[in-house]
Chain A
Amino acid sequence: MSRYAVNSLLYRLKKDREFRARFSTDPRAALADADLTEAERAAFLARDMRRINELGGYLHLVLSIPGLAVH
């Protein structure tokens, strides 16, 4: 599990509107350079915030990313 990679990606999705738009359009390409495990990458591609949280993503990030937040 790469806790830093997961959370830095979540942080970027929250704060970087342009990156968020790229992720929305082509998530596989947006994540290409991210240092994620297969499970982490699959969770991001599925936009499965609950799973991302289980894999170490901070709760307040998965609750607050525009357009992706779980409630």
Chain B
Amino acid sequence: MGKIVFAGAMSHVLDPDYYDAACGPVGRRKVEDVMEAIRQMGARLAARSPDALIVVADDHLNAFSFNAVPALCVRIGTTVSRMVQEDAEAFDKVLEDMPLTYPLHEALANQILEQGLASGFDLALSWEAPLDHAFLSPVTTLFGPRPIPPLVPIWVNCFVAPQPTARRCFDFGRHIARVVAGSPWNVGIIATGGLSHFPELLVARVGESDTVFDRKILHWLEHGEHEPLCRLSADELHKSGEHEFLNWMVLIGAITPARADVRYFGELGRINLAAVEWRVE
């Protein structure tokens, strides 16, 4: 019987140069601190020798265009490429030093997809979508020089309204838990992004974050109180800059009712950086 052996969530722009430019030396220091917390989480993850790592993250209009914006999408196939962006700016630039291809856990991805469709989740699939910083910055920070296990990338539409609901993401996480339990594999799962930043997705509000909202969320996570999280509305998430918490909701559904330990939380104005790990063992 398979098992989720690790669950963690973390911010996903992990680039000291980016935060130094955006926020000054305090930005560099705080992102280095959260990266150190993530590296320590990665040591615990690697010690559990996962057969696969599910990565739940969002697209920043990199992998998908206005041709189609899937609510929930499972990447299938045997390998995945990182996004290549000529003359990259901002958070796209951090990808440039990373490997070009990564192995996928084809069998687990197929089971999540096929069993999902059979049980009422109208999931999208992709054979070709590349990965941006939302996936690869956390993965490369977690593993450092260690080998990266086969990945199962899953996208949640966090930014292009209308998004899936928090409860739907949670329910999809329950589905993932059932698939893993019925499989022969030990699986890690991470969710990336957040916490509060870019309220209302307005340039005018870049530089603001909602620390009160973040602390409320973290309190619920630490106490395993997941029903209030499922009730978060699209409007609440939009106004508080918690769009990417939808990724976290998938993970929470996969491990509920486990409690979380906050490994790092740092207010930075532009964003509140966070790293959280759940007690799944």
Contacts and interface: CB of A to CB of B under 8 A. Distances in A.
Interface of A: 4, 7-8, 11, 14-15, 17, 49-50, 53-54, 58-67, 69-71
Contacts of A67: 87, 89
Contacts of B202: 53-54, 59
Contact of B90 (A7, A11, A17, A69): A69
Nearest to B87: A66
B198 A59 contact: yes
Interface residues of B, number: 22
Interface string B76-90: 000000000111111
Contacts of B21: 71
A66 B66 contact: no
A30 to B, nearest CB: 17
Interface in B52-106: 60-61, 65-66, 85-92
22 contacts: A7-B66, A11-B61, A11-B65, A14-B61, A14-B85, A17-B87, A49-B203, A53-B203, A58-B159, A59-B203, A59-B206, A63-B90, A63-B206, A64-B60, A64-B90, A65-B89, A66-B87, A67-B87, A69-B90, A71-B21, A71-B22, A71-B90
B118 interface: no
Do most interface residues of chain B lie in helix, strand or loop, or is the interface mixed?
Answer: loop
Given A14-B85, A66-B87, A67-B89, 16 more contacts: A4-B66, A8-B66, A15-B65, A53-B202, A54-B204, A59-B202, A60-B61, A60-B159, A63-B91, A63-B203, A63-B206, A64-B60, A65-B89, A69-B90, A70-B203, A71-B21
Interface in B158-172: 159-160
Contacts of A15: 65
Contacts of A58: 61, 159-160, 201
Contacts of B88: 64, 66
B90 A61 contact: no
